[in-house]
Amino acid sequence: MISEPKFWSSWRGRIIRAIVLDGIYTRKEILETTRLTKDQFEQALQELFQTELIVETGKDRFWVNSSELCNEYRSHWEEIKQALVNWVNEWRRQEKVDTERDHFFLEDKLLDKFSENLIENAKSEILVASPYVEQCHISNSLILMSKKAVNVRLVTRNPAEQQYQHEKKMKYLSKLAQGGVSIAYDESIHAKLIAVDRRIAVVSSMNFVAASSGGASWEAGLVTVEGNVVQSVARSIINRIKTASTDQ
């Protein structure tokens, strides 16, 4: 178990993480990234002001006023990412998947199993792009991790624009949102991507639906632990989220 630095899992910690780890300094961007309500943000911000851990450097721009705390957060973030890589390496060893390269191929049951296990091993952030999302084990894992204070962000197509079972799909996406998952809509989404803790990424053909992850269709993809590739996948998902609609 990795010990957390001060405030890490609290509202205050979310604000500090956004500033220190994501390089986000404005009120609007911090609210979008942390998923705090305005009241939660203001309460946490005032508490940080009182301890002088955060200062306002301009109109609605903030800075963490403690190099020691910044270093603690950066070090903890690196520990989280390394622990995830260690878990992936152990998973590969147990499943007898190629352990010599930064990228490896998975299909069918192993792809579904790895993706669900990866999500459930997240400690800080899960980013997902999938055009179709319905109730299934891997989708339910998003709610589970959100309730564990992991920042879960999903970009998908709006079921209201789909002809097949759109009411059922909308109801499930509402359940995800109520469970704390941040959802954005983009009708151009066709990519199927997962990025966890900015350290592991999955690029595959698998949607977050039972027919896809449950074996009714042949699905395959690549997993990467190569840092630059993972960062590119994460940035791509985040950029889509920023330009997408959040209306439900």
For 196-247, what is each residue's pLDDT tens digit? Answer: 999 999 999 999 998 887 778 899 999 999 999 999 999 999 999 988 865 4
Percent of the chain with pLDDT over 70: 96
More confident residue, 165 or 57: 57
Outline which parts of the chain fall under CATH 3.30.870.10. 101-243
In degrees, to the nearest 5, what angle opens at C-alpha 116 toward C-alphas 16 and 121? 40
Across 135-139, average pLDDT: 94
- The span from the CA of 128 to the CA of 194, in Å, is 5
Please check whether the domain covering 11-70 is classified as CATH 1.10.10. yes
Instruction: Give this prediction's pTM.
Output: 0.89
DSSP designation for 3: P
Contacts 24+ apart (CB under 8 A), 49-54: 53/12, 53/16, 54/15, 54/16, 54/19
Predicted pLDDT at 1: 56
Outline which parts of the chain fall under CATH 1.10.10. 11-70
Tell me: pLDDT of 2 over 70: no
- Contact criterion met (CB below 8 Å) for 237 and 125: no
Predicted pLDDT at 163: 61
Please give the span between the terminal C-alpha atoms of the chain, in angstroms, as a whole number: 38
CATH of 101-243, picked from 2.40.30.60, 3.20.20.70, 3.30.870.10, 3.40.50.12160, is 3.30.870.10
- Contact criterion met (CB below 8 Å) for 240 and 156: no
Across 94-120, average pLDDT: 93
Tell me: pLDDT of 248 over 50: no
Question: What are the distances in angstroms from CA 237 to CA 95, 166, 188, 205?
Answer: 29, 24, 13, 16
Quick one: tokens of 199?
């350290």
DSSP designation for 99: -
At 164, the pLDDT band (50, 70, 90 cuts) reads low
Across 72-78, average pLDDT: 96
Chain-wide mean pLDDT for the chain? 91
